[in-house]
Chain A
Amino acid sequence: MKKHITIALDWGISPVLGISVWLFFAVFYRHHWHYQEQMQLFLFTPEYFMEQIVKPGGLSVYLGGFFTQFFYDSFSGAFGLSLLLVFMQRLVADTANHISRKPDWRLLSCIPPLLYACFLCNEDVLISGTVALVSATATVALYNRIGNPKVRRVFFFLMIPVLYFLIGMGAFVFVLLPPLTEWVRKTRSAAAVWLCMLLPGLLIFACMTYLMKFFMVQYPVERYWLAGDYYRFVNAASLYFLSAFLTAVIIPLLFAVLPEKKRSIAWWRYGLQLLLCVAVVVWGTMNMADWKKEELMAYDYYARTQKWNSILAMADKEAPSGPFTVSMLNLALAKTGYLPEYMFTYYQNGAEGLIPDFRRDNLQPLMAGEIYYHLGLVNTAQRYTFEAMEAIPDAGKSVRCIKRLVETNLINGRHEVAAKYLSLLKHTLFYRKWAKETKEYLHNEERINAHPEWGTLRAYRPADDFLFSETEKDQMLGLLFQHNPSNRTAYEYLLGFALLKKDLQAFQTYYRLGEGAVAYDAPPRSYQEALALIWSQANYEQALKPQGLSDQTVQRLETYRNTFTSHANPELLLKQSGGNTYWYYYHFGNK
């Protein structure tokens, strides 16, 4: 029985771990990884490989990028990631076995990969660290297989600089584990381990950082201590890695002291280990997983891939409330033609929720840039894209930004620079096909004009130059619309902007701009509500009745006004009966 349980544990843990991690990152937490995938430009060129590999930790950076690119499809990406974490578990178990074979405690080997998986919930933790830890533990496994003690020692001292250069900071796992393994296995005396292995090993490790600084002057020495770029803020020390890496050292060593029961099954041990694993997962997901960001990244992903209905479906489940998520919802409403009708069905947080202001960040300008792109302010979209790429903390490039820059430059007729960016994309795995197809558009103005998106946006662009002004967005929207009255998105954003600013006079002025140019069967709901409000402020003077305003809307307004005036504190009541109206927003929204 015990033998069967042991075999089942041995073979069962890894698949269960792998499948759990795979499902979590492929289904429940996939948008963080879509974000990661966009924030890099992994090229299959010798130049790119050399550029990465010449830096300490370069191999783990390169392989980390290699695995990350597969998150183009979250199932493939999560498969690669889970494979790495399973390798990590197997290698930790291998070292533990080498120290003392205690199958009852096998579940403990899941703790380092589980802990690491939790850290990977942070969007700035990169896969390079996972690669580094797997490489370090794999080198330990190799070390353990060398029978000859002299060869083992040579291997140890040789591999410290090699490993440091290849995987960076994670090499310290290799500096610690072999000497401590020798110590707990009593193959060498404590003095010999400390004096002849551990201290010289640590010294070599430290020397490597200063040696690198000597040869590559352009980084601060901290960067060499933290070599491998496991964290997107490359110069920032993070305790995440230290703790995960240390568990990979401590857990195998624990096997030397853990009790063993040879004959019967100690169920409590399995229970304890399981509890420990569950505790790690619960702690990790509670502290490391950020579901608000996951929501933001989901909105961004759907906007980027133009899955507008997915955005609406998400918002129907739970209405967004942050300016960027709301702005993506408003863009989706505009792209599906529902903005004037259903804008106030959802929560609105002011003009910031329509077109957010610029912030120095690597995601938010991209989201705001999507709005400018679809409005036809192509130069602004291009600027936001460029700025977002420059704001990536590790100074990397972004495949998404490069792709968008190809589009904006093609729309602007800047073929040479579009060709330069395409020549980069043709060396990627997942954007190669797009690059090849898009290359056909270079220097082919007719074809660009005929493109359903680029051609339209080309026509939307302003004909006369004006300087972009963050504080005069409505004026820019007005100019856009006046240049091309078929730009319905610009018109609806212009009116939406005035409504969200609660500027009814501006709304009235802008509304008239579209009369005759933008065809609606009847004025959409939010416009009707605003028009009714304006008319009510003129005491319903018949001569001033706005065209197209329905009597039904006026009746609804009157009902709303009755509640508003007859209660001392009507907000809650009106939220229930008229929370989806412009009037409610006008009185209570975006305070």
Chain B
Amino acid sequence: MKHYIINIVYITLFVLSLCCGATSCGHPEKAEVCEEYPPIYPNYTEVTIPYNIAPLNFLMRNEPSRVEVSVKGKDRSLLLRSNYKVQFSEKRWRQLLEAEKGGELRVYVKARVDGKWIQYAPFSWTVAEDSIDPYLSYRLIEPGYEVWNAIQLRERNLESFAERVIADNNLTGKSCMNCHTYSRNDPSLSFFHLRGEHGGTILNRNGTLRKLNTQAIGMPSSAVYGEIHPSGRYGVFSANVIVPEFHTLDNKRLEVYDSTSDVYLLDFDTNEIQPVPFPGKEGVEYLRSFPVFSPDGRTIYYCEAPKVALPDSIIHLKYDLLGISFDPATQAFGTEADTLYSSVTGGKSVCHPKVSPDGKYLLYTLADYGTFPIWHRETELRMLNLRTGETDSLEEVNAPCSDTYHSWSSDSRWFVFASKRDDGIYGKPYFAYIDHDGKAHKPFVLPQRDPAHYDYTLKSYNIPELSTGPLPFDAKDIERIWRDSEAEEVNWK
């Protein structure tokens, strides 16, 4: 009897609450029309996405009590009712994008705000026919100054939300570790640097890990920036003595420059290293950094600046973009370097050149001065067409805060970069599409299962790099090589 009464009470309460909901909160059909886009975060309005990307979950900044989202394509559609966080089913999302490949999706958002339904202006998601490389590696670190604590390298599957740790400084004596770099998006050819005691450059060649001490006697430092030759035999690296300084003006944070730097070629087969004999002007000392290979491996692109008095003349420290020929068979270098961007005529400083795998474009970062663009708010990306010599200012892509640390997908249709556009401090990976006419499209941020993820995380995503498959190692392998292996020494050639 007692249970019977309790059940009746519960049923009555349930029915009453339904009635209350129906009467006081109205129907989505009677929504008030708003001509603005919904206040969604991340801003996924009017973006171009690959058909193999994970669901673009988002949240409504005005925190409505209910949201109704309808995503309509030509053949398929998807309806979702949720609270202020909109999280799509992975399976249904995948089916939708697969069906609408090459088409356009219209997204209709209705939200119940303060008891009233609002119908926002619909926006589009263009589903490109080109897929994106399915794996992304990045370094997670607090965007600090000199002190670091927890650093991780992670690999994320872009087709889902799966993520795994590929290196963690908890396992390597809390040492600093630099970002992970692939050669031509190949998961079996990559490297990163582990600093500190037992550190070294960790080279992954066909799943075999090696640890190298890349600082030969007399070099200013061990390897810093660089890339592996497409053949896998060579690495071109800069060795930099890096000095951090701290600004006192409100809109500036950190200035990092090299007191000395130069570029070296390392043969991984013989462990022999040699300075790259760049042609220079007599009596002028240069700083050289950010060397990369062209996709055919026959050119080395790099940045070069004449030395100035530092830090006093830091604003006059401007890097040119140059290219020099290289013969992998003989390890011979050209005697003349081509200037692709001159800081004298252009007035700015170049960093991080990256050539698209098809050899058509060279993407680089442009800052007012210096060599550490992540703390330069004015930093923007530029795309040089190596065939026509034209430079695209990528207006669709750049935002007011730093956009840098970019890398291409293997089909040269997508590139990923770290942008601080949301708050100026915390970098996040954004993906931009380059269509077959060479036009760049509005980028979108790496989607997360929980759309509030970027609100809560205090980590910055550094050097996001795309790859065609998962890496053949994980954090345990890195722990093992850090702990158990002596670093191989390199010698001068």
CA distance A395 to B147 in the complex (A): 12
CA distance A380 to B146 in the complex (A): 13
The answer to whether A217 and B474 have CB atoms under 8 Å apart is yes
Which residues from chain A contact B311 at a C-beta distance below 8 Å?
A: 467
CA distance A343 to B250 in the complex (A): 31
Flag A104-122 by CB within 8 Å of B: 1 or 0 each: 0000000000000000000
The answer to whether B452 and A219 have CB atoms under 8 Å apart is no
Given the known interface contacts A219-B168, A397-B458, A423-B455, the answer about A414 and B424 at a Cβ–Cβ threshold of 8 Å is: yes
CA distance A272 to B148 in the complex (A): 51
139-160 of chain B: CB within 8 A of chain A: 142, 144-150, 152
Is B456 an interface position by the 8 A CB rule? yes
CB < 8 Å neighbour of A416 from B142, B246, B423: B423
Q: Which of B251-259, B282-290, B353-361, B433-441 contacts A (4 or more CB under 8 A)?
A: B251-259
The answer to whether B245 and A468 have CB atoms under 8 Å apart is yes
The answer to whether A387 and B147 have CB atoms under 8 Å apart is yes
Is A413 an interface position by the 8 A CB rule? yes
The answer to whether B171 and A420 have CB atoms under 8 Å apart is no
CA distance A464 to B350 in the complex (A): 25
Which residues from chain A contact B474 at a C-beta distance below 8 Å?
A: 217
CA distance A416 to B145 in the complex (A): 20
The answer to whether B456 and A417 have CB atoms under 8 Å apart is no
CA distance A466 to B422 in the complex (A): 27
The answer to whether A390 and B142 have CB atoms under 8 Å apart is yes
CB < 8 Å neighbour of A218 from B314, B452, B475: B475
CB < 8 Å neighbour of B246 from A379, A390, A424: A379
Rounded to whole Å, the gap between the CB of A538 and the closest CB of chain B is: 36
Given the known interface contacts A219-B171, A360-B147, the answer about A424 and B250 at a Cβ–Cβ threshold of 8 Å is: no
CA distance A70 to B306 in the complex (A): 57
CA distance A397 to B150 in the complex (A): 11
CB < 8 Å neighbour of A377 from B152, B248, B251: B248
Which residues from chain A contact B392 at a C-beta distance below 8 Å?
A: none
Which of A218, A386, A420, A466 is the most central at the interface, judged by chain B CB atoms within 10 Å of its CB? A218
Which residues from chain A contact B314 at a C-beta distance below 8 Å?
A: 467
Is B233 an interface position by the 8 A CB rule? no
The answer to whether A391 and B149 have CB atoms under 8 Å apart is yes
Rounded to whole Å, the gap between the CB of A475 and the closest CB of chain B is: 11
CB < 8 Å neighbour of B145 from A45, A217, A386: A386
CB < 8 Å neighbour of A217 from B147, B165, B248, B423: B165
Rounded to whole Å, the gap between the CB of B169 and the closest CB of chain A is: 9
Which residues from chain B contact A399 at a C-beta distance below 8 Å?
A: none
The answer to whether B455 and A476 have CB atoms under 8 Å apart is no
Which of A377, A414, A419 is the most central at the interface, judged by chain B CB atoms within 10 Å of its CB? A414
Given the known interface contacts A387-B145, A395-B150, A416-B424, the answer about A468 and B475 at a Cβ–Cβ threshold of 8 Å is: no
CB < 8 Å neighbour of A45 from B249, B252, B253, B456: B456
Bin the interface of chain B by size: 35 or more
Q: Closest B-chain residue to A416, C-beta based?
A: B423
CA distance A417 to B423 in the complex (A): 5
The answer to whether B152 and A218 have CB atoms under 8 Å apart is yes
The answer to whether B423 and A414 have CB atoms under 8 Å apart is yes
Given the known interface contacts A461-B250, A462-B248, A462-B249, the answer about A390 and B149 at a Cβ–Cβ threshold of 8 Å is: yes
Is A541 an interface position by the 8 A CB rule? no
245-284 of chain B: CB within 8 A of chain A: 245-253, 255
Rounded to whole Å, the gap between the CB of B197 and the closest CB of chain A is: 15
CB < 8 Å neighbour of B165 from A218, A380, A389: A218
Query: Chain B at the A interface: mostly helix, strand, loop or mixed?
Result: loop
Which residues from chain B contact A220 at a C-beta distance below 8 Å?
A: 170-171, 479
CA distance A568 to B456 in the complex (A): 67
CB < 8 Å neighbour of A223 from B170, B247, B255, B475: B170
Which residues from chain B contact A416 at a C-beta distance below 8 Å?
A: 422-424
Which residues from chain B contact A153 at a C-beta distance below 8 Å?
A: none
280-325 of chain B: CB within 8 A of chain A: 311, 314
Given the known interface contacts A390-B148, A395-B150, the answer about A218 and B170 at a Cβ–Cβ threshold of 8 Å is: yes
The answer to whether A424 and B142 have CB atoms under 8 Å apart is no
Which residues from chain B contact A360 at a C-beta distance below 8 Å?
A: 147
Which residues from chain A contact B249 at a C-beta distance below 8 Å?
A: 379, 461-462, 464-466
Given the known interface contacts A217-B475, A390-B142, the answer about A465 and B248 at a Cβ–Cβ threshold of 8 Å is: yes
Rounded to whole Å, the gap between the CB of A459 and the closest CB of chain B is: 12
The answer to whether A391 and B246 have CB atoms under 8 Å apart is no
81-95 of chain A: CB within 8 A of chain B: none
Is B430 an interface position by the 8 A CB rule? no
The answer to whether A383 and B145 have CB atoms under 8 Å apart is yes
Is B450 an interface position by the 8 A CB rule? yes
Rounded to whole Å, the gap between the CB of B137 and the closest CB of chain A is: 15
Given the known interface contacts A395-B150, A416-B424, A467-B255, the answer about A47 and B248 at a Cβ–Cβ threshold of 8 Å is: no
The answer to whether A218 and B423 have CB atoms under 8 Å apart is no
Is B476 an interface position by the 8 A CB rule? yes
Which residues from chain B contact A193 at a C-beta distance below 8 Å?
A: none
CA distance A323 to B218 in the complex (A): 41
Q: Closest A-chain residue to B455, C-beta based?
A: A423
Given the known interface contacts A223-B170, A379-B253, A468-B247, the answer about A420 and B455 at a Cβ–Cβ threshold of 8 Å is: yes
CA distance A218 to B425 in the complex (A): 26
Which residues from chain B contact A379 at a C-beta distance below 8 Å?
A: 246-250, 252-253
CA distance A392 to B246 in the complex (A): 22
The answer to whether B248 and A380 have CB atoms under 8 Å apart is yes
318-368 of chain A: CB within 8 A of chain B: 360
19-74 of chain B: CB within 8 A of chain A: none
Which residues from chain B contact A464 at a C-beta distance below 8 Å?
A: 249
Q: Closest A-chain residue to B167, C-beta based?
A: A218
Q: Closest A-chain residue to B453, C-beta based?
A: A47
Is A574 an interface position by the 8 A CB rule? no
Is A412 an interface position by the 8 A CB rule? yes
Which residues from chain B contact A235 at a C-beta distance below 8 Å?
A: 170
Is B426 an interface position by the 8 A CB rule? yes
43-93 of chain A: CB within 8 A of chain B: 45, 47-48
Which of B146, B149, B255 is the most central at the interface, judged by chain A CB atoms within 10 Å of its CB? B149
CA distance A383 to B452 in the complex (A): 26
Q: Closest A-chain residue to B151, C-beta based?
A: A395
The answer to whether A466 and B248 have CB atoms under 8 Å apart is yes
The answer to whether A424 and B475 have CB atoms under 8 Å apart is no
Which of B170, B245, B248, B479 is the most central at the interface, judged by chain A CB atoms within 10 Å of its CB? B248
Rounded to whole Å, the gap between the CB of B171 and the closest CB of chain A is: 6
Rounded to whole Å, the gap between the CB of B85 and the closest CB of chain A is: 11
CA distance A233 to B145 in the complex (A): 22
CB < 8 Å neighbour of A467 from B146, B246, B250: B246
Which residues from chain B contact A389 at a C-beta distance below 8 Å?
A: 142
Rounded to whole Å, the gap between the CB of B255 and the closest CB of chain A is: 7
CA distance A465 to B424 in the complex (A): 19
21 CB-based A-B contacts, threshold 8 Å: A217-B165, A217-B168, A217-B475, A218-B165, A218-B171, A235-B170, A377-B248, A379-B249, A379-B250, A383-B246, A390-B149, A391-B149, A397-B458, A412-B250, A412-B251, A413-B251, A414-B250, A416-B422, A420-B455, A423-B456, A467-B247
Binding site for B on A (CB under 8 A): 45, 47-48, 217-220, 223, 235, 360, 377-380, 383, 386-387, 389-392, 395, 397, 411-414, 416-417, 419-420, 423-424, 461-462, 464-468, 476
* 5 A-B pairs closest in CB distance: A465-B249, A416-B423, A218-B168, A412-B250, A417-B423
User: Beyond the given A380-B246, A392-B149, could you list 10 further A-B residue pairs with CB under 8 A, ordered by the A residue number?
Assistant: A48-B456, A217-B165, A217-B168, A217-B171, A217-B475, A360-B147, A378-B250, A411-B250, A417-B426, A419-B423
